[in-house]
Structure 1
Amino acid sequence: MVVTGGVRAGIIDVHAHWLPRELLSLPPGFPLGGMNDCDGDLYLGDSALFLPTTAMTDIDAVIADTLKTGLGARVVSAPPFAFPVFAPAAADDYVSAYNDRLTEAVTSSDGTLIGLGLVRVDDMDAARREMTRLAAMEGIAGVAVPPLVQGQSLGTGTMRQVLAVAAETGLAVLVHPMQLPRPEWKDHYLVNLIGNPVETTTAVASVLLSGVMDELPNLRICFVHGGGCAPALLGRWGHGWRKREDVRRDSNRPPSDSFGQLYFDTVAHDPEVLRLLAAHAAPDRILCGSDYPFDMAQREPVRFVLDSGFDAKTLEMAGRAFLGIRNRV
């Protein structure tokens, strides 16, 4: 990442979202249509997102919330609706436009904001081209990617190759679920309450059991929402790894050994869940997150992590390490 003027000291929120108003249309092929403003409130197609449009689109509003909550800096990425996965070959212009606007926004924030760009995960030539461009952009530290696309996760195919390019170019990777629908989750917001953690959990297992971290030890990859269900399932995965050849065939180590190489954010909504995560993850791989500005956000991310027993300096240094920031200003 190219940083001029430095990043503000203090805890870094690695999980927040921003989308400029002119890109609310979303990439081609999104099945629900675009996002739109309705009398000041943000909608996804015909569904209310229960947040002011300015909270997502106004960079000054993002900065104001960052400072109000006591953060040193905040990492912004596109909301998952903007991932170019439904008609990716037609999304190159959208991807490059977002990344251009992102670098403009973060470099004008006086070290308050850092960016994670968009990238296609279906085509290696397109991915490498855009990730090489992102690596040279001021204020851009990495990319945000989905955990699952059309039955494929991060341990296989093009998605795994994208991780390899990220490690090669020094870009951090934030893995964010897409709230993929299933019939049994149509009520009570279960598509988010259960679906999002399950998507993340699947991706964590894919990375651990496919040997990604053996192949790419320098990869900086973060899973949001506290890693979903992964901390609670790590023992089960380890038992399967020891007992079944088909579980361990692609990895050299039990999943608990490589779990310590992964980063996780703190959007868990429960201090006990965070303590379970801390029992398995490396202390310097837990990162403050908020999920700003969505309804499922941790509204006071600094207070939540400090009240849960985490150390501010450790969190700050972990955030800087994940983002590849070496300087202090």
Structure 2
Amino acid sequence: MHDFHTHFIPSDVITWLKDNKELINAKWTKTDENKNEFLVVNEKWGFELKQAFIDSERYLQEQAAAGVSHSVVSPIPQLFLYDFPDEITTEISNVYNRSLAEWSKSAPQKISALGTVPLTNPDKAAQVLQNAMNLGLKGVIIGPGLPGQMLSDGFFTPFFEEANRQKAIVFIHPLLCEDPRLKRRMMPNLIGVPWETTVCATDLLLSGLIDTYPNVKILFAHGGGFLPYQIGRLDKGYEQWKLVSSNLKAPPSEYLKRFWYDTVLWNEESLEFLVKAVGTDRVVPGSDYPFDLSVWPPEVKFQEGIYSLLG
């Protein structure tokens, strides 16, 4: 059984964070005796440093106990560090990518990995992506854009050109939504996270980017957010408005089948709907392990999606 959506922080990255804690305003705190330390970066990105995040043996033991034979490991979104200058983001990307590549080479039957890139500088991101692929990584995980920049914007052309050349997996993972209406009851996570994916995925679909870069394998986290459920509305807009159809060669529901989606949905009926909308070869088992809202253990089905994404 595969698990395509997991996260880890190698020891070299922890060392880098400690060595540069003033530079990135990183703080380790402990407020609950029943929990591990929390790491907060730049007063913005906070998360619990569970042992499974930082202990490779613990990670592999828990994967094995859940019946997972192979995991695709990604950096954690809180450490994309897009808030910082390119030099900092490039440095942690290179440290992260080297560390994950070394781990995956030490246990290739159990681990594959994706890297991270300095998305704020697409030229550097393209170079870091190329280096990551040369190290043996399968692609990269990125956020759903930047403040004021959607991934379909020409700003990101150098990155997508390189991803297309490399036939890389680009796993688009949301960051917490900053909509001021969501500042209560965990809504930034509950609906803000899938909403960020929805906006990004809809924009990419309607932009026709996948026609321009057909070799890029775009994977959306959390079942594609709300997009699959609302694809009929997009199809209707395609019939009605030139602004919707101008970049497309087919209805949006056809383009929906050209991306990949993980199974992190927590609801069997939702998952069945996704599979019916995009096909079994476009869905990959994932868990979001070891975050609190993980589907654990992950789905045992959808190996066809794994083969089509890794093939």
The TM-score with structure 1 as length reference comes to 0.84
Distance verdict in 2 for CA 1:240–1:161, change over 3 Å = farther
Alignment partner, residue 5 of structure 1: none
Runs of 4+ in 1 over 6 A off after TM superposition: 26-32
Distance verdict in 2 for CA 1:48–1:259, change over 3 Å = closer
Please tell me whether residue 23 in structure 1 is matched to residue 16 in structure 2.
no
What's the CA shift for 1:29?
A: 11
After TM superposition, list the pairs within 5 Å mapping 1:196-215 onto structure 2.
196-215=193-212
What's the CA shift for 1:48?
A: 7.0
Partners of 1:64 and 1:199 in 2: how far apart?
Answer: 33
Alignment partner, residue 8 of structure 1: none
Please tell me whether residue 232 in structure 1 is matched to residue 243 in structure 2.
no
Q: CA RMSD in A?
A: 2.5
Please tell me whether residue 12 in structure 1 is matched to residue 2 in structure 2.
yes
Please tell me whether residue 323 in structure 1 is matched to residue 295 in structure 2.
no
After TM superposition, list the pairs within 5 Å mapping 1:1-329 onto structure 2.
11-24=1-14, 25=17, 33-34=25-26, 36=28, 38=30, 41-45=36-40, 49=47, 53-91=50-88, 92-138=90-136, 140-301=137-298, 305-306=299-300, 312=301, 315-324=302-311
Which letter maps to 2:233?
A: R
3-state secondary structure, aligned to 1:194: helix
Relative to its length, the structure with more helix (as a share) is 2
Distance verdict in 2 for CA 1:217–1:26, change over 3 Å = farther
Partners of 2:271 and 2:19 in 1: how far apart?
Answer: 35
What's the CA shift for 1:35?
A: 6.2
What's the CA shift for 1:203?
A: 1.3
Contact 1:30-1:86 at 8 Å conserved across structures: no
Which letter maps to 2:138?
A: A
**Runs of 5+ consecutive residues of structure 1 not aligned to the other structure:** 1-10, 307-311, 325-329
Contact 2:12-2:96 at 8 Å conserved across structures: no
Partners of 1:33 and 1:57 in 2: how far apart?
Answer: 20
Contact 1:179-1:192 at 8 Å conserved across structures: yes
3-state secondary structure, aligned to 1:70: coil
Distance verdict in 2 for CA 1:119–1:26, change over 3 Å = farther
Distance verdict in 2 for CA 1:233–1:32, change over 3 Å = farther
3-state secondary structure, aligned to 1:153: coil
Which letter maps to 2:177?
A: L
Contact 2:12-2:99 at 8 Å conserved across structures: no
Partners of 2:236 and 2:21 in 1: how far apart?
Answer: 41
Which letter maps to 2:36?
A: D
What's the CA shift for 1:252?
A: 2.3
Partners of 2:72 and 2:56 in 1: how far apart?
Answer: 12
What's the CA shift for 1:158?
A: 3.0
Distance verdict in 2 for CA 1:26–1:184, change over 3 Å = farther
Alignment partner, residue 309 of structure 1: none
3-state secondary structure, aligned to 2:258: coil
Which letter maps to 1:191?
A: P
Distance verdict in 2 for CA 1:28–1:257, change over 3 Å = farther
Structure with higher RCO (Cα < 8 A, 6+ apart): 1
Partners of 2:199 and 2:129 in 1: how far apart?
Answer: 24
Contact 2:24-2:84 at 8 Å conserved across structures: no
Distance verdict in 2 for CA 1:161–1:29, change over 3 Å = farther
**Runs of 5+ consecutive residues of structure 2 not aligned to the other structure:** none
Which letter maps to 1:275?
A: E
Partners of 1:274 and 1:37 in 2: how far apart?
Answer: 37
What's the CA shift for 1:316?
A: 2.4
Equivalent pairs counted in the alignment come to 302
3-state secondary structure, aligned to 2:294: coil
Partners of 2:134 and 2:219 in 1: how far apart?
Answer: 21
What's the CA shift for 1:21?
A: 4.0
Contact 2:198-2:227 at 8 Å conserved across structures: yes
Contact 1:29-1:86 at 8 Å conserved across structures: no
Which letter maps to 1:199?
A: E
Distance verdict in 2 for CA 1:143–1:232, change over 3 Å = same
Partners of 2:36 and 2:243 in 1: how far apart?
Answer: 49
